[in-house]
Structure 1
């Protein structure tokens, strides 16, 4: 029997009927365009079910509940006291599994804000962006002690209230809160280093699968080849990946390729056929069908609309 590339598989995994989508988080982008710092305390179940990316850094502090965070080519465990830093334009998706209560702070900071802080601290050559990339260019992950969690939670609570009320001088409260937070964060970098970001057990296997998909997404991947690389059965591999990440292997690969395609359409002049080939879809008609189905637009129409949005932002 002829082996088919992953995008063409009919029903190899559970929940395969889900649509394949990718979203640029215009919600966050809108707030960052209005003011370069945005913070929210959230208790409702996760609404963003798609891989997504946005401008600016995202800082994710979990207070209650558990799950995992798929960030770029990594999978991080989430629980009370976990702190995740996601860099601009990196795809990510939190997943809280069966956890009924999931409380977290989500802080977004535009790159320009950190650049301004770098300018203010020019004598010390403090580059927050460079320090954030110290261990990994896309993300970092830490576990806070009870004392550290209490301190960071207090900073985020004060920051969130200042941004909500916007009383006279709130910008100074924001600046103080950001400065206090980064002082704690850089202490965590020295204290925990890379040890906090390494997955364990089944998460390690799911992480390896994720890394393989990202490393080979431009190729015509065969599901049999993927399964043969890992020491579990086909059904176990599918179930493990879905349980850990909240998405199927096929779904992730489609979303990841769509992400790359959208960025190429927005940022380059490559022909649509070249974009399709560059991100691993290969077959032009398949790429066109998936893209139109999930965005409601053809790739060319999407490029035009993206350019319009960019011009509106500039003005």
Structure 2
């Protein structure tokens, strides 16, 4: 039975506050068991601390917050503190799983061992979703996490003189695995939504091309890492962000040189180049002409077209 199956919790409204588990975690902040019996929890309930649920055999479902999650061999569920939840098993006569209850106080003590990094485990775990994380493990991932939980359960049961160090090692290994899973899941999500993401990035670049755009601003604004942003942008557009900005700014500069009376310095400032010498260098490298030479050549071509058009009009009047 689960912790919260051992004693009838205090019912509040349509769900239960699991005070038994709360009290148990106060005394034993880390508790891990391997269970095979059917699920007996009759109500939605919430308790302090994390609940980590690894299914090895059987099928079912888990209501967590406003989500319904499938349970089967290889599913791993991380339920955050004080979130309503209730597991249901299917028609399997047995339901094999590891259940780990982890009090927040233990994570706080673990964080205190890493003062230089300013580690916040709760923030990292909540980065994907504030209530729950749910994963379908590969065979390799399943073996790794099952091994960690099996060793953890054994150390907690035997409690030899060094068990606290062993528990610390197992919890640290488990957290690293969870954070790797979260990073991989986020990466897959980014890949799946790459076209929309890069479309949004392009729209932002076009809307702000006149400004001094920094990569850190893009990473802060969009849900992607720096390396993912660079790779996805190049894969989607065929060019780097810097190349796109240069090409777009040059196209706008050419338009202003032809259609406006702005000075070359004003054109450079209006198109995001800022530094006039940089503008001259980039413009000449890409076009073979300085901005002034490009403007003069464009005006000459426009004058010639006007003369040709006027000559055609005169010839037409003579014929008629």
When normalised by structure 1's length, the TM-score is 0.54
Partners of 2:15 and 2:188 in 1: how far apart?
31
1:150 Cα offset (Å): 0.8
Match of residue 287 from structure 2: none
1:157 Cα offset (Å): 0.7
In the alignment, is residue 28 of structure 1 matched against residue 24 of structure 2? no
The structure that has the greater radius of gyration is 2
Partners of 2:56 and 2:76 in 1: how far apart?
10
The 5 Å alignment of 1:52-201 reads 52-193=45-186
Match of residue 46 from structure 1: 39
CA contact (8 A) 2:61 2:68 kept: yes
SS in 2 for 1:193: helix
Distance verdict in 2 for CA 1:143–1:88, change over 3 Å:
same
1:155 Cα offset (Å): 0.7
SS in 2 for 1:39: strand
1:194 Cα offset (Å): 8.7
SS in 1 for 2:48: coil
Partners of 1:81 and 1:97 in 2: how far apart?
16
Encode CA deviations 1:70-127: one digit per residue, 9 max, x unaligned. 0001111111111101111100001112122210011011111111111111211221
| Higher helix proportion | 2
| More RCO (CA 8 Å, sep 6+) | 1
Partners of 1:35 and 1:191 in 2: how far apart?
32
Partners of 1:194 and 1:83 in 2: how far apart?
18
Deviates more, 1:64-73 or 1:24-33: 24-33
1:195 Cα offset (Å): 6.5
Partners of 1:29 and 1:149 in 2: how far apart?
29
**Which stretches in structure 2 are left out of the alignment for 5+ residues?**
1-12, 190-320
Deviates more, 1:169-178 or 1:112-121: 112-121
CA contact (8 A) 1:43 1:104 kept: yes
Q: CA RMSD in A?
A: 1.7
Partners of 2:59 and 2:15 in 1: how far apart?
24
What is the number of residues matched between the two proteins?
177
SS in 1 for 2:150: helix
1:26 Cα offset (Å): 3.0
Partners of 1:64 and 1:40 in 2: how far apart?
15
Distance verdict in 2 for CA 1:77–1:87, change over 3 Å:
same
**Which stretches in structure 1 are left out of the alignment for 5+ residues?**
1-19, 197-315
When normalised by structure 2's length, the TM-score is 0.53
SS in 2 for 1:142: strand
Partners of 1:99 and 1:193 in 2: how far apart?
32
Distance verdict in 2 for CA 1:102–1:195, change over 3 Å:
farther
CA contact (8 A) 2:58 2:90 kept: no
